[in-house]
Amino acid sequence: MWALARLHMRLQPLQPLAPGTGGSKSPGAAALFQPFSGSPDANQEGVLAEARNALQATGRKLLQASSRHLSTYNAQQLANTCWATAALGLQPPPDWEPQFWPAALVALPAMRTEELVAIAMASARIQLQPLDQWLEAVLKFTTQAMLPGSSSPQQRSSAAMEAVASGGAESLSPRSQTRIQATGRALASILWCVEAWQVRVPVAWTAAALGQLEMHAAGGTLEPAALGTALQAMARMGLKPDAVIAGWTARVVESVVMRAAANVNASAGDRKIADPVAAEEVTLWPHPVGGDRVTREVGDLDGRCARIILWSLARLRCQVSDQVAGWLALKASECETMVPDAAAEAGTVLFPEALKEQAKAGPGAGSHHRLSGRAGAELETGGTDEARCLLARERTGARNVCVALWALASTSSRPNPDVMRQLTRRATMDMQSASDSELLTIVRSFAAMGFRPGARFRRAAEDRIVRLAPRLTQDQMAAVLTWCARLQWQLSADVCELLRDVAL
């Protein structure tokens, strides 16, 4: 299963890395990718599609056969099987899941952190709902890992394995030592899965996880990707971290972002590849345990991470310093996420209404509460769930600056004029490729922040608004006129007459 999934991944149409992401593949992976580095013609794509289908068919047979042997699998085998199932895009047969979760529960004390993350995230992606006992055990073991003075992997004991051997899964104790560590990536991944599974966790666990994430941020070990994933999960759950720990968001975000900015400044004159020994993987969607890994410096924050963090801050209505908000906005506007569907159209970008009240914690300190709804909510490529469809590359510039400005306006941020001028230049460059909703959001955001763009932006926006006017409702047209007034735009007489006709 592991090998089939790896081959299936190599046969996907290659998407170039976004500029400045810093990603690098291992020599072996680069060699395997090389034959498909060009733009394949229809015949070559047909051959690749047939190969992918054959791999999926073989994987489906192996998955069916594995149902009879899951109880004998060790932790790594369970993790790789679950990961491969998701990587191949397969849905397990009906008799597979009832065998998988009991086996995963028995193997949980022996799981390493990356194995737990692989199982959790893969199961969420293929819409498998974990057993209550498994999730409760995960919360207990991660709570133990977050306790002061918890054992390191080298000092772990065999108490948990002895408990399983003597009394079965029911005898698992929160005091049992495991190999699981409360790393920033692990906690962020669990938060993401909790949201995907539609469950509520005890407030005590949430507070402990937030405290651990803040400790990692202060120590420089919290990756921007992990922070973005954690914030995004909490934003979707309606869980405001500042309601649990006062001032948490500003402290953690500013610590991570300022450290990333310092790393950028320190390496501005040195573009050498980072030492692999001091690097870690940043992709939270785990690779097969023991497989090739993409590495990047821990402190690196690329455009995609910045956009996810900004979007989450806006949804949570959490403020950070204007300096940090401006730096995030500039990074987000540089993001160039590659997607396969060049014809996909962006959804509407709107200023969200006030979030619903924070979700209440579960009924007990050691239990969780399962919500209604299916599991497996997908993590959007760009971190914006107001548009679940993918964007074409030529349109990502407009979307990125739109999200950046929307987030700044939503959080009442006021970056310095130089930052705003750079965002204005980017918005002007991408004006023609912006969708109608993106255009209106950009104009509205400038008006909300009280920043007046220059004449070049005004002319480009005015031209788009004139072409858009016949498709606007009266309320939308009235709003556009209000925004133009706030921006003190001196519209031409012909444009004013056209807009008034539409408004009336």
| Res. 23: pLDDT tops 50 | no
Task: Enumerate residues 6+ apart whose C-beta is below 8 A from 109.
Answer: 141, 160, 161, 163, 164, 172, 176, 178
Q: Is 185:284 a contact under the CB 8 Å cutoff?
A: yes
Q: End-to-end CA distance of the chain, in Å? A: 64
Query: Residue 342: which of 11, 15, 4, 2 has the closest Cα?
Result: 15
**Secondary structure letter of residue 15 according to DSSP:** -
Task: Enumerate residues 6+ apart whose C-beta is below 8 A from 310.
Answer: 325, 328, 329, 332, 403, 404, 407, 408
| Res. 359: pLDDT tops 70 | no
Query: Residue 472: which of 501, 431, 434, 443 has the closest Cα?
Result: 501
Please give the pLDDT value at position 268: 54
Q: Is 111:161 a contact under the CB 8 Å cutoff?
A: no
Please give the pLDDT value at position 74: 95
Please give the pLDDT value at position 255: 95
| Res. 37: pLDDT tops 50 | no
Please give the pLDDT value at position 42: 62
Which of these ranges, 138-147, 254-263, 362-371, has the smallest mean pLDDT?
A: 362-371
Please give the pLDDT value at position 52: 85
| Res. 382: pLDDT tops 50 | no
Please give the pLDDT value at position 46: 80
Q: Is 295:17 a contact under the CB 8 Å cutoff?
A: no
Please give the pLDDT value at position 472: 82
| Res. 414: pLDDT tops 70 | yes
Task: Enumerate residues 6+ apart whose C-beta is below 8 A from 347.
Answer: 386, 387, 388, 389, 437
Reading the block at residue 98, the tokens are 């009832």
* Sign, CA torsion 65/70/73/77: positive
Q: Is 113:186 a contact under the CB 8 Å cutoff?
A: yes
Please give the pLDDT value at position 95: 92
Query: Residue 244: which of 283, 213, 278, 287 has the closest Cα?
Result: 213
List own/partner pairs for 241-247 with CB under 8 A and 24 or more apart. 241/210, 241/316, 241/318, 242/318, 243/358, 244/203, 244/206, 244/207, 244/210, 245/207, 245/210, 245/211, 245/214
Tokens 């407030």 identify what position?
203
Please give the pLDDT value at position 155: 43
**Gap between the Cα atoms of 240 and 248, Å rounded:** 10
- Rounded to an integer, the average pLDDT of 90-110 is 94
| Res. 493: pLDDT tops 90 | no
- Rounded to an integer, the average pLDDT of 231-255 is 95
Residue 497 burial (CB count, 10 A): 11
Question: From start to end of 282-394, where are the E strands?
Answer: 369-370
Residue 351 burial (CB count, 10 A): 12
Q: How confident is the model at residue 502 (pLDDT cuts 50, 70, 90)?
A: low
Please give the pLDDT value at position 266: 63
- Rounded to an integer, the average pLDDT of 302-327 is 93
Tokens 């005890």 identify what position?
202
Greatest mean pLDDT range, 35-39, 125-129, 347-351: 125-129
Q: How confident is the model at residue 136 (pLDDT cuts 50, 70, 90)?
A: very high
| Res. 159: pLDDT tops 50 | no
**Gap between the Cα atoms of 116 and 107, Å rounded:** 10
- Rounded to an integer, the average pLDDT of 266-278 is 41
**Gap between the Cα atoms of 234 and 400, Å rounded:** 22
Q: How confident is the model at residue 5 (pLDDT cuts 50, 70, 90)?
A: confident
Q: How confident is the model at residue 153 (pLDDT cuts 50, 70, 90)?
A: very low
82 backbone dihedrals φ, ψ, rounded to 5° = -65, -45
Reading the block at residue 403, the tokens are 């999200």
Please give the pLDDT value at position 190: 96
Q: Is 459:489 a contact under the CB 8 Å cutoff?
A: no
- Rounded to an integer, the average pLDDT of 73-83 is 94
**Gap between the Cα atoms of 381 and 327, Å rounded:** 21
**Secondary structure letter of residue 383 according to DSSP:** S
**Gap between the Cα atoms of 179 and 49, Å rounded:** 40
Task: Enumerate residues 6+ apart whose C-beta is below 8 A from 78.
Answer: 70, 100, 103, 104, 107, 115, 119
Which of these ranges, 27-31, 158-162, 168-172, 430-434, has the smallest mean pLDDT?
A: 27-31
Strand partners, 369: 200
Which of these ranges, 49-63, 94-108, 168-182, 352-366, has the smallest mean pLDDT?
A: 352-366
